[in-house]
Copies of this chain bind each other. A is one copy, B any other.
Amino acid sequence: MVNFFANGSDPPFHRRAHTIDEENGLDPSFHRQAHTTDKEVCVVLVLLFTWAHLPYAPPSKAELLDCTTNSPWCTTSRNRNQLKPNLLRNPTRHHHRHTSDSPHHPLDPLTIQEINKVRSILSSHELFKSSPYALHSVVLEEPEKPLVLCWKKGDPLLPRKASVIARANGKSHVLTVDLQTSQVIRHATDSLSGYPTMTIEDMTTATWAPLASAKFNRTIIERGIDLTDLACLPISTGWFGKSEEKRRLIKVQCYSMKDTANFYMRPIEGLTVLVDMDTRAVVEISDKGRNIPIPKAANTDYRYSAQNIYPELKLLNPISIEQPKGPSFTIEDEHTVKWANWEFHLKPDPRAGVIISRAMVRDPDSGELRNVMYKGFTSELFVPYMDPTDAWYFKTYMDAGEYGFGLQAMPLDPLNDCPRNAYYMDGVFAAADGKPYVRSNMVCVFESYAGDIGWRHSESPITGMEIREVRPKVTLVVRMAASVANYDYIMDWEFQTDGLIRIKVGLSGILMVKGSPYVNMNQVTGQENLHGTLLSENVIGVIHDHYVTFCLDMDVDGSDNSFVKVDIQRQQTSPGESPRRSYLKATRNVAKTEKDAQIKLKLYDPSEFHVINPSKLTRVGNPVGYKVVPGGTAASLLDLDDPPQKRGAFTNNQIWVTPYNRTEQWAGGLFVYQSQGEDTLAVWSERDRPIENKDIVLWYTLGFHHVPCQEDFPIMPTVSSSFDLKPVNFFESNPILRMPPNVEKDLPICKPAASA
């Protein structure tokens, strides 16, 4: 183990800094001290590390990663060649073979070599020698936050550790593997309910399990479906009581893929197979929909190759975002993105999808990089369907913790998922057997210009001044698209030069539909509950909600921040005070404890929500801050005691603020699968810990109610919602005041490719 004790002193924080198995993570005394004497602590820590840090030794023999010989989940880009011209322009050209990658930054994800080393270390561990096992997660165990904050480029890398979640001996294990010492330095089994995120092997295996059942095969054939036309989906069971306890269960429902790639539109309604994920045994078959026809294949296929394109279809002329001098961003050491006034660390993650860390923005006056957010990521999703019947009630997905939001992020399609100027980043993940694999083109980074305006002003003839000053708005987008079976989530982190970060969720993909005997609404009596919309003959799009909860560890000019509710309230004037009877007044209320920051948004009782640094003031004395600007909001209306809502209780409020705790990252709990809701953000927040002038974490939930409509059939046009993190008295003044306007001579000269 790394030894921190170098100079005989024994400050209280040293003891804890590398023992991370307490539930509350870092000892608060460490943090307090780190804040008050930042520089000294950093010097001490750096000395300690220099002394203690063993040079990182790459494995003597570079192992070659080959998609064909490693994991089946390894993906390659089908359009790799299309990327070349653009990547050549990019000074940080992307390496697509990751076998020789090495970490450069304390937050860099595990490399192929490191994942292989973890596997090798674990293979000699007691636990994994004695029984079959599956690794559900192998990711970097991030170093303690104060160490990362001290680290600067050029410093020796912080000790590399892996955090492993494994199933073995019928239990879930959480292990920390020290890559320097090749030892397992922590091993815990969790006592709470719930299971780890499924492996892709779990999901795939489940889809085939029903075929082992003669009863299942018989009912499929009796419904007139050829077994070779069968497509089945693994559906998380949720938790509804004792029957979901003490074994890992999954429900499998099937579709006919005859005559369409869009089998989702051809459900074999009412047939649900309960499978034990560990034994692969069929536990129960519920077969209630035999009277419901399987909807027709006609008009369901969405692939371009399957369309009848009428010659009269009017096509748009080609349109493209062009940057003849190349993009303005660079990506250093594979993960550090630098663009305009922004700098941040970006990595793919199997559970969160994308993690943004150490987001800093350059002050236009001092030129300094200033901290904005230590870490931001999609913490959990909650997608309850609104049909209480047998084949539907359990559909209350938590896509990050159950399926792995990053695991489901497929390679992006160049020129369509991202524009031509995009840079693509691969994910390197571990399969259930511990073997690394590459998810290529999983994340893209690009500059966007939609023709929008950064700021403007014209003078009018009233003043007679000849002024027209306008600045174009260019942004940097980080994008991922996760296809969690039928649904596609497009996740954007958009950085603006004015300091704003927009976090946008786009919903597309394919609806989860229900087979129905109805072919027309005239067969439906007024009072009947369809639980959705008749989209096509025999197809009902079932009503559902989407909640996407973001963990935003804000560090506004330092870690110790406060959450301020700026309440906007009507103030009545006193008689004779003013011809006005009323006006609005903004009152600042600093949240003292967590319960002060459990926020339900109210249109008629509005507030702004600031994260400020109370010890850093602007020149005229306002505390520097960022505010969360809510958007696209829907609230969960389910009964608070409904089992799905207890598990998804992190959606009980739109905003929460918690004190930083490195174990509190996953809003639905670390082990979400079949969990009972004991480890959610709502439970943590009820502790009502102090949050004033502390290292605090902001949580925001974007919500959507989705009542399907026919336009969503057979594939949904994207619906988007977003919220913003926006500087509020963070800068002394408009940070893009000095930005130049566009002029003709800087813009490209283009010609159609066909005439080239």
Contacts and interface: CB of A to CB of B under 8 A. Distances in A.
A203 to B, nearest CB: 5
A743 interface: yes
A126 interface: no
A154 interface: no
B742 A717 contact: no
Given A452-B718, A570-B639, A711 B728 contact: yes
Contacts of A82: 744
Nearest to A583: B386
Contacts of A221: none
Contact of A621 (B367, B467, B522, B736): B522
A710 interface: yes
Nearest to A707: B586
Interface in A368-396: 384-389, 393-394
Contacts of A566: 707
A416 B340 CA distance: 18
A8 interface: no
Interface string A583-609: 111100000000000001111101010
Q: Which of A75, A453, A509, A519 has the most CB of B within 10 A?
A: A453
A163 interface: no
B635 A304 contact: no
A583 B387 contact: yes
B600 A603 contact: yes
A207 interface: yes
B485 A462 contact: yes
A203 B521 CA distance: 59
Interface in A510-569: 510, 519-522, 529, 531, 533-537, 543, 545, 566, 568-569
Interface in A54-86: 72-73, 75, 78, 82
Contact of A642 (B455, B582, B621): B582
A740 B302 CA distance: 11
A315 B453 contact: no
Contacts of A449: 319-321, 419, 450
A634 to B, nearest CB: 6
Given A469-B302, A637-B570, A737-B715, A750 B752 contact: no
Contact of A639 (B386, B465, B572): B572
A416 B742 contact: yes
A279 B643 CA distance: 73
Given A632-B631, A715-B737, A580 B388 contact: yes
A107 interface: no
Given A417-B470, A463-B231, A509-B457, A325 B317 contact: yes
B324 A751 contact: yes
Nearest to A263: B463
Given A317-B327, A453-B490, A463-B231, A749 B746 contact: no
Nearest to A710: B729
Contact of A750 (B483, B533, B750): B750
Contacts of A606: 634-635, 637, 705
A214 interface: no
A749 B738 contact: no
Contacts of A601: 603
Interface stretch (A31-39, A345-353, A407-415, A691-699): A407-415
Stoichiometry, as copies per complex, reads: 2
A485 B460 CA distance: 7
A341 B314 CA distance: 8
B367 A340 contact: no
A584 B388 CA distance: 10
A384 B389 CA distance: 51
A747 interface: yes
A23 interface: no
A467 B261 contact: yes
Interface in A722-755: 727-738, 740-754
Given A452-B718, A454-B717, A579 B483 contact: no
A312 interface: yes
A89 to B, nearest CB: 10
Given A318-B747, A325-B317, A457 B715 contact: yes
Given A318-B747, A718-B454, A461 B204 contact: yes
A473 interface: yes
A309 B737 CA distance: 10
A471 B316 CA distance: 12
B317 A584 contact: no
A744 B580 contact: no
Interface in A623-664: 631-635, 637-639, 641-645
A458 to B, nearest CB: 4
B733 A415 contact: no
A634 B318 CA distance: 39
A176 to B, nearest CB: 29
Interface residues of A, number: 204
Nearest to A637: B570
A319 to B, nearest CB: 5
Contact of A411 (B468, B474, B713): B468
A322 interface: yes
A98 to B, nearest CB: 19
Nearest to A581: B642
Contact of A457 (B456, B508, B637): B508
Contacts of A219: none
Interface stretch (A144-152, A178-186, A233-241): A233-241
B756 A749 contact: yes
Contacts of A508: 453, 455-457
A497 B748 CA distance: 27
Given A303-B467, A323-B318, A747-B320, A450 B453 contact: no
Contacts of A734: 302, 711-717
Contacts of A752: 324-325, 746, 748-749
A567 to B, nearest CB: 11
A299 interface: yes
B325 A203 contact: no
A304 B340 contact: no
A635 B603 CA distance: 6
Contact of A620 (B307, B536, B745): B536
Contacts of A728: 709, 711
A669 interface: no
A498 interface: yes
Given A261-B465, A457-B510, A618-B710, 8 more contacts: A316-B447, A393-B578, A416-B742, A521-B617, A543-B586, A568-B705, A631-B632, A711-B730
5 closest A-B pairs by CB: A521-B621, A450-B450, A388-B578, A416-B470, A240-B579
25 contacts: A241-B579, A302-B734, A303-B467, A314-B341, A316-B328, A319-B421, A322-B750, A388-B577, A413-B458, A415-B747, A416-B470, A450-B450, A456-B718, A460-B485, A522-B621, A529-B585, A531-B583, A572-B639, A581-B641, A584-B638, A710-B729, A711-B727, A711-B733, A748-B753, A749-B752
